[in-house]
Structure 1
Amino acid sequence: MSNVIPFKRPSLKERHKGNTLCRNNHHKWLVVKENQFDSQQGKLVTCYRCERCGKRKNKAL
């Protein structure tokens, strides 16, 4: 017979790990350093990325 290994289920804290905050629009925005400033329609734009979920947004200055 084969060996069966019991796996430990991840705890509730490990499973969600910040996704609840992002689903309720409480993102943790960080400025993207690779392309820190972008030009869009002649305006200066700063790019942000959420540290937890990876969503991106642009903000015109």
Structure 2
Amino acid sequence: MADVVPFKKPSLKEKHRGNTLCRNGHHKWAIEKANQFDVKYGKLVTIYKCSRCGTLRNELT
């Protein structure tokens, strides 16, 4: 019979790591440099992306 490897269940703290902050509105915004020009309005746009959850936020400059 083969050896059985016991796996450790992730604790609740490890499961929600970083997600709790974003749910409470504390995102970690980083500027996404791929798209900087909005075709519809013809203006420069700064796009921020949360590095934890991936939420996008736009700001016209």
Q: Normalising TM by the smaller chain, what interval?
A: 0.7 to 0.9
For structure 2, the 5+ residue unaligned runs are none
Equivalent pairs counted in the alignment come to 60
Partner of 1:38: 37
For structure 1, the 5+ residue unaligned runs are none
Question: Which amino acid letter does the alignment assign opposite residue 6 of structure 1?
Answer: P
TM-score normalised by L of structure 2: 0.77
Question: Which amino acid letter does the alignment assign opposite residue 15 of structure 2?
Answer: R
Counterparts of 2:34 and 2:45 in 1: how far apart (Å)? 13
The Cα of 1:60 is off from its aligned counterpart by 0.7
Counterparts of 1:32 and 1:24 in 2: how far apart (Å)? 22
Q: Which runs of 4+ in 1 moved over 3 A?
A: 1-5
The Cα of 1:41 is off from its aligned counterpart by 0.9
Q: Is 1:28 aligned to 2:28, yes or no?
A: yes
Give SS of 1:13's match.
helix
Moved more, 44-53 or 5-14: 5-14
